[in-house]
Amino acid sequence: MDISQTSSTPRSARHRSQLLFVAMAGLVFLLFMTNLALGSVSIPLAQVWQIIIRGSTDHAVYTNIVMQTRLPQAIVALGAGMALGIAGLMLQTLFKNPLAGPSVLGISSGASLGVAFVVLLSGQMFGLTLSGLPFWGDMAVIAASLAGALGVLMIILTISSRVAGSLAVLIIGVMMGYLSNSIVGVFKYFSLEADVHSYVIWGLGSFNRLSLPRAILFGGVAVAVSAMMVFLSKPLNLLALGDRYAQNLGLHTRRTRLLVILGAGLLTAVVTAFCGPIAFIGMAVPHLAKLTFRTSNHLTLIVAAGLIGSGTALLCAILSRLPGLESALPINSVTAFVGAPVVISVILKRRSV
């Protein structure tokens, strides 16, 4: 036998993943450009390209459309998809559960609770509709959402540093979700119809709530935090073996679990604060990453989940405002139609994944 021929993967497989990465990146770029070009007004790709390169084009309308709505939305979709895909992958590995996703930690429920405080309760208690104010309203919603998400994250971290298994964390996360939903239910019951409506709209999720500068800021943060997660790839590879095997291979399992929850929690919290709770992308994307790249190495999987997450979110953004539709569909309605079939097919042929 020839040892030199055998590295971590057969050579052809490594070529395959490199090719796949290039193809994925190309696809994400294509989807990004399509997002800028397609909509109720179609803009020729050449014009789009000009706007991106030079910041403007002779067509003032085109410039406005791209710079004011489509570019921010595409940037937000790119960052949010990447963050959610990676967070979902990390949590599925941590909990060894193919149905885990960013929502299982109760973080998006915490964010919902925070937003409910601002949107539903403030109108009742102080007689002013915070969310109605143009700038401060947005900021209040974002801040409340972030506060709720991080609050739940702190609780989960505190609990998981005290209990031994990951299963307990999973159950506590889900229970936190139920608790916040029930509090939100009480708020809704006593709220004005208009406030409930704006709360429901927030809960449907959206990629186009941010202006261009804020979208760039959000995209930068999301991509940077996502990229940092590759440093967790070795601990995640070991965690996939099971806690005791991981410990026997030198992993400080409790500390690693905290880091994974912290990382995935931050990603989820940031996305939820700026886009609302985005369903299904975090659950479906890790499965797509494992299906296409056929590896268990989290270094590859994290990058793959990031790219596929961005691609999926951009695709959903395009679908949500297909030509012919008067206004854009809520993003969560689209993600469910894209994500649910993926999850169902994975569960049906579970043995192979």
Partner 1 sequence: MDICQLSHLTTGYRTGQGVKTISQGLDATLPSGQMTCLLGANGTGKSTLLRTICGFLKPLCGHVSVAGREVAGLSAREMSRLVAVVLTDRVEIPNATVTELVQLGRSPYTGFMGRLGSDDVAIACRAMQQAGIWHKRHQTVTSLSDGERQKALIAKALAQETPLIVLDEPTAFLDLPARVEIMQLLRSLCSDKGVSILMTTHDLDLALQMADRLWLLQPDRPLVTGSPEDLMLQDAFAAMFAQSGIEFDIRTGLFQIQHPYRHHIAVKGHGFGYVLLRRALARLGIRTVGYGGGQALWIDIRGIDVPEFAVMYDAHPLLVSPSVERVVSQVVDAMASMPMAKHMNVSNDAII
Enumerate binding residues for partner 1 (CB under 8 A). 1, 3, 6-10, 96, 230-231, 233-234, 237-238, 240-242, 244-245, 247-253, 290, 293-297, 299, 351, 353
Q: Which is nearer to partner 1, 59 or 294 (CB)?
A: 294
- Select from 295, 276, 193 the least CA-distant residue to 236: 295
Q: Report, in Å, the least distance between residue 229 CB and partner 1.
A: 12
Could you tell me what percentage of the chain is helix, strand and coil, using 3-state DSSP and rounding each to the nearest 5? 80, 0, 20
118 in Cβ contact with 124 (< 8 Å):
no
Nearest distance in Å: CB 236, partner 1:
10
- Contact (CB, 8 A) for 57 and 50: yes
Q: How far is the CB of 97 from partner 1 (least distance, A)?
A: 11
* Shortest reach from residue 224's CB to partner 1, in Å: 18
Cβ closest to partner 1, residue 129 vs residue 297: 297
Specify the residue, 110 or 263, whose C-beta has the smaller distance to partner 1: 263
Which CB atom, from 17 or from 268, has the smaller least distance to partner 1? Answer: 17
| Shorter beta-carbon distance to partner 1: residue 247 or 333 | 247
User: How far apart, in whole angstroms, are the C-alpha atoms of residue 151 and residue 112?
Assistant: 12
Q: Taking each helix axis as running N to C, give the angle between helix 11-37 and helix 281-293, from 0 to 180 degrees, rounded to the nearest 10.
A: 140
**What's the min distance (Å) between Cβ of 6 and partner 1?**
6
The answer for 224, left when phi > 0, alpha when psi is -120 to 50, beta otherwise, is: alpha
Give the residue among 245, 273, 262 at the shortest CA–CA distance from 96. 245
The H or E element spanning position 31 is helix 11-37
